[in-house]
Copies of this chain bind each other. A is one copy, B any other.
Amino acid sequence: MSPRTESEAVERANTAFYETLERGDFDELSALWLDATEAGDTGISCVHPGWPVLSGRGEVLRSYALIMANTEYIQFFLTDVKVVILGDTALVTCTENILSGGPAEESGELGPLVGQLVVATNVFRRTSEGWRLWSHHGSPVLAESGDEEQEED
């Protein structure tokens, strides 16, 4: 594949990850993460905003089942998506502009919607079945950084 096509394939895999979370499709989400055969049982890792590190498919996928069970509605607006590929590894950074809501306490309606600004570093590995997630690290943006954000290199 040409570098451009490769980069697009990685960006599609990254987009698919967030769309799967939006749909709450646990099986499809599980399939997007690297298999145990490729990275070992504890090969994958995940950090949700404000959480400690989760390692291995068991811990990582359980956390998503928990999040999906407590999220009635979630939408990701991705900005600043950057893709860098070196060999069989792709590094994606992006800003997740998140709008989410949990279930209402009593009625069947949505709870209050909450906006959240998160930055993520997602690492993908090339496999025979396409690019698969090796690591996701999301963290809350708590403050604007200084001048270095306004300058371009």
Which A residues form the contact surface with B (CB < 8 A)? 38-43, 45, 47-59, 62-63, 66, 80, 82, 84, 86-89, 91, 93-95, 119, 121, 123, 125, 134-135, 137-146, 148-149, 151, 153
Contact = CB atoms under 8 A, between A and B. Distances in A.
- How many copies altogether? 2
Given A52-B141, A57-B153, 13 more contacts: A39-B86, A43-B84, A49-B139, A49-B142, A51-B145, A52-B149, A54-B148, A54-B149, A59-B153, A62-B151, A89-B89, A123-B123, A137-B139
A30 to B, nearest CB: 14
A153 B40 CA distance: 12
Contacts of A135: 91, 93, 121, 123
Nearest to A117: B52
B66 A146 contact: yes
Contacts of A87: 87-89
